[in-house]
C-alpha cells in the first residue's frame, strides 16, 4: 500500500500508544499526559480523565468504559464516559504488576492484561531483556497470573472463537500462542508464525481481521503488516523515513463495516488511518 493512502485524524495528541474505535465512530486514544483523547469523526479532539501516569494500551468494555493499561503508574484502570476512574489491578497473586501494557476484554467479560516486565525500569528491560513478563487474567475482579517467562510481554488478542490467546513477545521478535482452557488457564505455548520476525521486527500491537490475518505493528521499522493463516508475513505499510508512521504501536478497526484500520504510535500527534483489505474482527464493544 502506498503511504499516500494513509490519512490522519485528530490533533495535539501526546504519545497516543493505544487506540480504539467505538460503534458511533468516536476514536479513543491514550495520551501521555495521564488522560484519554476522544476524537470525533470530524477530527474534533477532546481530552478527559485524570488517570495519572502514562496510559498505554486501551480497550473498551460493553458499557463504553475505556480500560487502560497504565504503564506509567502500574495500574489497570477503567474510565467512565463521565470521567470517573477506577483502579482494577495493581498486583496479582501478591506480586506487583508494575508495567501493564495492553488490555483485552473477551466475550465472557474477562480482562486479559500483558505485564511487560517485573523490573521497575522499562528502559532496562528493553536494553537487557529477560523472561520476566507475564499475562494476567482478571475475572470477577480477581487477577491471577496465567502465563510467565515472557521476554517483554506486549500486545495481545484472542481469536474470534476465543480458543487461543496471541501475544507479541517483543524482545524475542516473535508472536506466541496459548490455548485457553475453560477455566482461563493457558496451555500449549508455541511460536505462531516465523521463529523471528527479522532484525528490527520487534512486534508491538496485534489484532485480527475477519479473514484470520493477524495484524502487527513494528515501531522500530515504522511498518505495519500481517501474518496470514498460513503464517506468511505480508508487509502492508513501510515508512522508513517516518513521514506518516511515527513508530506505530497498536492497530484497531472501526467505522463502517470495521473496514478502516487506525494506528496508535509513540511519536505521533495524530491518528493515521487507512482502508484495510478485510474487516477487522468484531470486538466485545462492537455491535455492528
Hey, what long-range contacts does 75-81 have (CB within 8 A, 24 or more apart)? Answer: 75/100, 76/100, 76/103, 76/111, 76/113, 76/138, 77/51, 79/36, 79/48, 79/49, 79/51
Closest CA to 69 of 107, 93, 98, 38: 98
Asked whether residue 288 carries a pLDDT value surpassing 90, the answer given is no
What does the pLDDT read at residue 227? 98
How high does pLDDT run on average in the chain?
97
DSSP letter (8 states) at residue 209: B
Q: In this prediction, what percent of the chain has a pLDDT beyond 70?
A: 100
Domain boundaries of the chain, sorted by first residue: 3-275
What is the rounded distance in angstroms from the CA atom of residue 165 to the CA atom of residue 260? Answer: 24
What is the rounded distance in angstroms from the CA atom of residue 59 to the CA atom of residue 61? Answer: 7
Instruction: Summarize pLDDT for 99-126 with one digit per residue, the tens.
Output: 999 999 999 999 999 999 999 999 999 9
What does the pLDDT read at residue 28? 98
Asked whether residue 60 carries a pLDDT value surpassing 90, the answer given is yes
Hey, what long-range contacts does 129-134 have (CB within 8 A, 24 or more apart)? Answer: 129/171, 129/172, 133/99, 133/169, 134/97
Q: What is the pTM of this model?
A: 0.98
Kindly calculate the radius of gyration of the chain based on its CA atoms and give it in whole angstroms: 17
Asked whether residue 196 carries a pLDDT value surpassing 90, the answer given is yes
Cell numbers 487506525 correspond to 262
CATH topology of domain 3-275: Neuraminidase (2.120.10)
Q: Any alpha helices (H) in 95-209, and if so which ranges?
A: 122-127
Cell numbers 508455541 correspond to 190
**Cell (9 digits) for 233:** 508475513
Instruction: Summarize pLDDT for 130-158 with one digit per residue, the tens.
Output: 999 999 999 999 999 999 999 999 999 99
Asked whether residue 184 carries a pLDDT value surpassing 90, the answer given is yes
Q: Exposed, middle or buried, 184 (CB in 10 Å: 0-12/13-18/19+)?
A: middle
Instruction: Summarize pLDDT for 17-39 with one digit per residue, the tens.
Output: 999 999 999 999 999 999 999 99
Instruction: Summarize pLDDT for 207-245 with one digit per residue, the tens.
Output: 999 999 999 999 999 999 999 999 999 999 999 999 999
Average pLDDT over residues 156-185: 98
Chain-centre distance of CA 179, in angstroms?
A: 20
The b-or-e profile of 151-166 (16+ CB within 10 A means b, else e) is bbbbbbbbeeeeebbb
Q: Exposed, middle or buried, 190 (CB in 10 Å: 0-12/13-18/19+)?
A: exposed
Average pLDDT over residues 178-191: 98
Asked whether residue 203 carries a pLDDT value surpassing 90, the answer given is yes
What is the rounded distance in angstroms from the CA atom of residue 20 to the CA atom of residue 79? Answer: 14
Q: Judge contact between 47 and 38, C-beta under 8 A.
A: yes
Helix (H, G, I), strand (E, B) or coil at 181: coil
Amino acid at each position: 500500500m502506498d503511504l499516500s493512502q494513509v490519512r490522519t485524524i485528530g490533533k495535539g495528541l501526546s504519545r497516543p500508544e493505544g487506540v480504539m474505535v467505538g460503534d458511533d465512530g468516536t476514536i479513543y486514544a491514550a495520551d501521555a499526559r495521564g488522560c484519554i483523547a476522544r476524537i470525533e469523526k470530524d477530527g474534533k479532539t477532546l481530552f478527559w480523565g485524570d488517570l495519572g501516569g502514562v496510559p498505554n494500551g486501551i480497550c473498551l468494555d460493553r458499557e463504553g468504559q475505556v480500560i487502560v493499561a497504565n504503564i506509567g503508574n502500574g495500574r489497570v484502570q477503567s474510565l467512565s464516559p463521565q470521567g470517573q476512574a477506577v483502579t482494577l489491578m495493581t498486583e496479582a497473586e501478591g506480586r506487583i504488576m508494575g508495567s501493564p501494557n495492553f488490555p483485552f476484554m473477551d466475550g465472557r467479560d474477562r480482562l486479559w492484561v500483558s505485564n511487560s516486565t517485573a523490573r521497575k525500569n522499562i528502559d532496562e528491560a528493553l536494553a537487557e531483556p529477560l523472561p520476566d513478563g507475564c499475562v494476567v487474567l482478571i475475572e470477577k475482579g480477581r487477577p491471577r497470573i496465567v502465563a510467565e517467562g515472557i521476554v517483554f510481554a506486549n500486545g495481545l488478542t484472542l481469536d474470534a472463537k476465543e480458543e487461543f490467546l496471541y501475544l507479541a513477545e517483543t524482545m524475542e521478535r516473535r508472536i506466541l500462542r496459548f490455548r485457553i482452557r475453560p477455566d482461563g488457564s493457558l496451555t500449549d505455548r508455541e511460536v505462531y508464525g516465523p521463529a523471528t520476525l527479522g532484525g528490527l521486527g520487534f512486534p508491538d500491537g496485534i489484532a485480527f481481521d475477519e479473514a484470520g490475518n493477524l495484524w502487527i505493528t513494528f515501531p522500530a521499522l515504522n511498518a505495519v503488516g500481517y501474518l496470514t493463516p498460513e503464517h506468511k508475513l505480508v508487509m502492508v505499510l513501510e515508512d522508513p523515513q517516518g513521514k506518516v508512521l511515527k513508530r506505530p504501536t497498536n492497530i484497531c478497526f472501526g467505522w463502517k463495516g470495521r473496514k478502516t484500520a487506525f494506528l496508535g504510535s509513540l511519536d505521533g500527534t495524530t491518528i493515521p488511518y487507512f482502508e484495510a483489505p478485510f474487516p477487522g474482527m468484531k470486538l466485545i464493544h462492537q455491535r455492528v
